[in-house]
Amino acid sequence: MKTATAREQAFLQSMKETGLRPDPYLIVEGDHTLEGGHRACSELLSGGRKATAVVCSNDLTAMGVMKRSHELGIQIPKDLSVIGFDDIRLAQFTLPPLTTVQMSQSELACLAFNSLITEAERKEPSMKSAEYGLKTSLVLRKSTSIIGSRS
Protein backbone atom coordinates (compact mmCIF):
# COMPACT_ATOMS: atom_id res chain seq x y z
CA MET A 1 0.00 0.00 0.00
CA LYS A 2 1.25 3.44 -0.90
CA THR A 3 0.24 4.86 2.49
CA ALA A 4 2.17 2.14 4.32
CA THR A 5 5.27 2.90 2.27
CA ALA A 6 4.88 6.62 3.00
CA ARG A 7 4.53 5.92 6.73
CA GLU A 8 7.61 3.68 6.70
CA GLN A 9 9.64 6.33 4.87
CA ALA A 10 8.49 9.01 7.34
CA PHE A 11 9.51 6.73 10.23
CA LEU A 12 12.95 6.08 8.72
CA GLN A 13 13.44 9.79 8.03
CA SER A 14 12.48 10.64 11.62
CA MET A 15 14.96 8.09 12.93
CA LYS A 16 17.67 9.62 10.76
CA GLU A 17 16.81 13.16 11.89
CA THR A 18 17.15 12.13 15.54
CA GLY A 19 20.49 10.46 14.93
CA LEU A 20 19.21 6.90 15.27
CA ARG A 21 19.98 4.13 12.82
CA PRO A 22 17.11 1.72 12.26
CA ASP A 23 18.04 -1.94 12.39
CA PRO A 24 16.60 -3.54 9.22
CA TYR A 25 16.04 -6.76 11.16
CA LEU A 26 13.69 -4.89 13.47
CA ILE A 27 11.43 -3.69 10.67
CA VAL A 28 8.72 -6.26 10.01
CA GLU A 29 6.05 -6.02 7.34
CA GLY A 30 2.46 -6.66 8.30
CA ASP A 31 -0.83 -6.44 6.45
CA HIS A 32 -2.74 -3.81 8.45
CA THR A 33 -4.85 -6.36 10.33
CA LEU A 34 -5.03 -7.64 13.92
CA GLU A 35 -3.71 -10.98 12.70
CA GLY A 36 -0.88 -9.28 10.82
CA GLY A 37 0.16 -7.43 13.97
CA HIS A 38 0.05 -10.70 15.91
CA ARG A 39 2.31 -12.41 13.33
CA ALA A 40 4.64 -9.40 13.04
CA CYS A 41 5.09 -9.30 16.81
CA SER A 42 6.03 -12.98 16.85
CA GLU A 43 8.53 -12.41 14.05
CA LEU A 44 9.93 -9.28 15.65
CA LEU A 45 10.55 -10.97 18.98
CA SER A 46 11.87 -14.26 17.54
CA GLY A 47 15.50 -15.23 17.84
CA GLY A 48 16.04 -13.48 21.14
CA ARG A 49 15.63 -9.98 19.75
CA LYS A 50 14.79 -7.41 22.40
CA ALA A 51 12.65 -4.48 21.31
CA THR A 52 11.68 -1.68 23.70
CA ALA A 53 9.10 -0.07 21.42
CA VAL A 54 7.01 -0.92 18.37
CA VAL A 55 5.68 1.69 15.96
CA CYS A 56 2.88 0.27 13.83
CA SER A 57 1.52 1.56 10.55
CA ASN A 58 -2.05 1.45 11.86
CA ASP A 59 -4.02 0.89 15.05
CA LEU A 60 -5.28 -2.60 14.14
CA THR A 61 -1.71 -3.81 13.70
CA ALA A 62 -0.81 -2.25 17.05
CA MET A 63 -3.71 -4.07 18.70
CA GLY A 64 -2.45 -7.37 17.24
CA VAL A 65 1.00 -6.58 18.66
CA MET A 66 -0.57 -5.87 22.05
CA LYS A 67 -2.49 -9.17 22.00
CA ARG A 68 0.59 -11.22 21.10
CA SER A 69 2.66 -9.38 23.70
CA HIS A 70 0.06 -10.25 26.34
CA GLU A 71 0.19 -13.92 25.29
CA LEU A 72 4.00 -13.86 25.67
CA GLY A 73 3.83 -12.27 29.12
CA ILE A 74 5.22 -8.96 27.88
CA GLN A 75 3.74 -6.07 29.82
CA ILE A 76 2.77 -2.93 27.93
CA PRO A 77 4.18 -0.35 28.52
CA LYS A 78 6.52 -1.67 31.23
CA ASP A 79 8.38 -4.05 28.89
CA LEU A 80 7.30 -2.75 25.49
CA SER A 81 5.84 0.55 24.29
CA VAL A 82 3.35 0.30 21.41
CA ILE A 83 2.25 3.11 19.09
CA GLY A 84 -0.43 2.90 16.41
CA PHE A 85 -1.52 5.19 13.60
CA ASP A 86 -4.99 6.50 12.64
CA ASP A 87 -6.57 6.91 16.10
CA ILE A 88 -9.54 4.69 15.35
CA ARG A 89 -12.28 4.94 17.98
CA LEU A 90 -11.40 1.54 19.45
CA ALA A 91 -7.82 2.69 20.26
CA GLN A 92 -8.93 4.47 23.42
CA PHE A 93 -10.59 1.30 24.74
CA THR A 94 -7.65 -1.15 24.50
CA LEU A 95 -5.96 -2.17 27.73
CA PRO A 96 -3.87 -0.14 28.17
CA PRO A 97 -5.30 2.59 25.93
CA LEU A 98 -3.26 2.86 22.72
CA THR A 99 -0.92 5.78 22.03
CA THR A 100 -1.45 6.65 18.39
CA VAL A 101 -0.88 9.19 15.64
CA GLN A 102 -4.09 10.99 14.76
CA MET A 103 -4.89 12.49 11.41
CA SER A 104 -7.82 14.76 10.78
CA GLN A 105 -10.51 12.71 9.08
CA SER A 106 -12.27 15.85 7.88
CA GLU A 107 -9.02 17.22 6.40
CA LEU A 108 -8.39 13.85 4.74
CA ALA A 109 -11.91 13.87 3.29
CA CYS A 110 -11.43 17.42 1.96
CA LEU A 111 -8.11 16.47 0.33
CA ALA A 112 -9.67 13.43 -1.30
CA PHE A 113 -12.73 15.37 -2.49
CA ASN A 114 -10.64 18.23 -3.91
CA SER A 115 -8.35 15.74 -5.64
CA LEU A 116 -11.34 14.02 -7.28
CA ILE A 117 -12.79 17.37 -8.41
CA THR A 118 -9.42 18.44 -9.86
CA GLU A 119 -9.11 15.18 -11.79
CA ALA A 120 -12.72 15.27 -12.98
CA GLU A 121 -12.26 18.81 -14.34
CA ARG A 122 -9.14 17.90 -16.38
CA LYS A 123 -9.60 17.67 -20.14
CA GLU A 124 -7.01 14.88 -20.20
CA PRO A 125 -6.02 12.57 -17.35
CA SER A 126 -2.77 13.46 -15.64
CA MET A 127 -0.06 10.84 -15.88
CA LYS A 128 1.73 12.28 -12.85
CA SER A 129 0.91 11.18 -9.36
CA ALA A 130 0.08 13.87 -6.86
CA GLU A 131 1.12 14.11 -3.23
CA TYR A 132 -0.83 15.89 -0.54
CA GLY A 133 0.27 16.91 2.93
CA LEU A 134 -1.85 15.99 5.92
CA LYS A 135 -1.25 17.24 9.45
CA THR A 136 -0.93 14.66 12.20
CA SER A 137 -0.65 14.79 15.97
CA LEU A 138 0.45 12.32 18.62
CA VAL A 139 -2.26 11.19 21.03
CA LEU A 140 -0.47 10.04 24.18
CA ARG A 141 -2.26 7.32 26.06
CA LYS A 142 -1.01 4.54 28.33
CA SER A 143 0.66 2.10 25.88
CA THR A 144 3.97 4.01 25.96
CA SER A 145 6.47 4.91 28.64
CA ILE A 146 9.84 6.55 28.90
CA ILE A 147 12.65 3.98 28.81
CA GLY A 148 14.27 5.42 31.94
CA SER A 149 11.08 4.85 33.92
CA ARG A 150 11.06 1.08 33.36
CA SER A 151 12.29 -1.19 36.11
Q: What is the pLDDT of residue 107?
A: 85
User: What pLDDT score does 147 carry?
Assistant: 66
Q: How confident is the model at residue 4 (pLDDT cuts 50, 70, 90)?
A: confident
Q: How far apart are CA 72 and CA 77, in angstroms?
A: 14
Task: Tell me the domain boundaries of the chain.
Answer: 2-103+136-149
Average pLDDT over residues 81-104: 95
Do 82 and 144 form a contact (C-beta atoms < 8 A)? yes
Prediction pTM value: 0.81
As assigned by CATH, the class of the 2-103+136-149 domain is alpha beta
| Percentage, residues of the chain above pLDDT 70 | 96
Rounded CA-CA distance 115/132 in Å is 9
Q: How far is residue 65's CA from residue 44's CA, in Å, rounded to a whole number?
A: 10
- Collect all residues with Cβ–Cβ distance below 8 Å to 82 and sequence separation of at least 6: 53, 54, 56, 62, 65, 66, 69, 76, 98, 99, 143, 144
Per the model's pLDDT, the better-predicted residue between 24 and 85 turns out to be: 85
d(CA 85, CA 88): 8
How do residues 38-79 score in pLDDT, each as one tens digit?
Answer: 999 999 988 777 888 999 999 999 999 999 999 999 999 999
